[in-house]
Amino acid sequence: MGLGNPGPGYENSRHNIGFRVIDLWCKDLGLVLKKNLFRSKNIRAEFRGNNIILFCPITFMNLSGEAVRACADYHALETGTILVIHDDLDLPLGRIKVAKDGGSGGHKGVGSIIHHLESTQFSRIKVGIGRPRYGETVEDYVLSPFYTDEKGLAQKAMEMAVNACELFVLEGVESAMNQINCQNLVNKEEKN
């Protein structure tokens, strides 16, 4: 489940990094999300012998839980099999954290999912977007595109998030946490 806001005005915003990770994974798999049930764009697929659903709610961010709950109910998904990809202000760009459960951390989309699933027991991929550099409000910052000098690093972070999704499906959340959470793309950029 990649989180974001629908519409072209939000397409390249930091807040839409969850959508962008799902889109990148779809591209890698040769898939296209279709507007379908559950107020979402989604597609059912097979990934290396595993049945998966790639899913982006077309509700606004703070209503994401409505779409996620509808999908979970329809497919009888256990909460522990759900993986939510979203932006995280408290992680610098270039850092990704895979987590098993927990609170919303102030993220309204995650808060909506917790509310509608009545559970925190789903996994997350938190993609760091860092904090504003130039005194922007947090709201303006998350709804804006990455700074020009961040775009390459943002692309690498999204690629690493796709890798984290694949690890989650193939090896489980613990393995994804162990392999992804120790990586720091900022350090790799500085060494090159």
Residue 112 corresponds to which amino acid?
Answer: S
- Residue 3 falls within a domain, yes or no? no
Give the range of the structural domain holding residue 43, as residue numbers without chain letter: 14-191
User: How much is the average pLDDT of 84-101?
Assistant: 96
pLDDT at 186: 82
Q: Specify whether the CB–CB gap between 160 and 186 falls below 8 A.
A: no
Taking alpha carbons only, the member of 20, 158, 166, 164 closest to residue 94 is: 158
- Residue 1 falls within a domain, yes or no? no
The torsion angles phi and psi of 11, rounded to 5 degrees, stand at -50, -45
- Residue 134 falls within a domain, yes or no? yes
What's the total number of domains in the chain? 1
Residue 37 has pLDDT above 90, yes or no: no
- Residue 5 falls within a domain, yes or no? no
Residue 189's pLDDT band, with cuts at 50, 70 and 90, is low
pLDDT at 188: 63
- What CATH code is carried by the domain that includes residue 26? 3.40.50.1470
DSSP-derived letter for residue 119 is: -
Residue 94 has pLDDT above 60, yes or no: yes
- Residue 79 falls within a domain, yes or no? yes
Q: How far apart are CA 188 and CA 79, in angstroms?
A: 34
The token pair at 12 is 């390249």
Q: Render pLDDT for 100-117 as a digit per residue (tens, 0 to 9).
A: 989 999 999 999 999 999
- Residue 4 falls within a domain, yes or no? no
Residue 27 has pLDDT above 80, yes or no: yes
Q: 50-57 and 96-99: which strand pairing?
A: unpaired
The residue written with tokens 């779809």 in the block is 26
- Residue 8 falls within a domain, yes or no? no
- Residue 46 falls within a domain, yes or no? yes
User: How much is the average pLDDT of 65-75?
Assistant: 95
One DSSP character per residue, 63-110 reads GHHHHHHHHHHHTT--GGG-EEEEEETTS-TT-EEEESS---TT-HHH
Is 15 considered catalytic here? Answer: yes
Q: Render pLDDT for 110-145 as a digit per residue (tens, 0 to 9).
A: 999 999 999 999 999 999 999 999 999 999 999 999
pLDDT at 35: 75
The token pair at 104 is 């919303």
Residue 44 has pLDDT above 90, yes or no: yes
Residue 152's pLDDT band, with cuts at 50, 70 and 90, is very high
Chain mean pLDDT for the chain: 94
Q: Catalytic: which of 15, 86, 107, 116?
A: 15
pLDDT at 57: 96
User: How much is the average pLDDT of 148-157?
Assistant: 96
The token pair at 84 is 């939510």
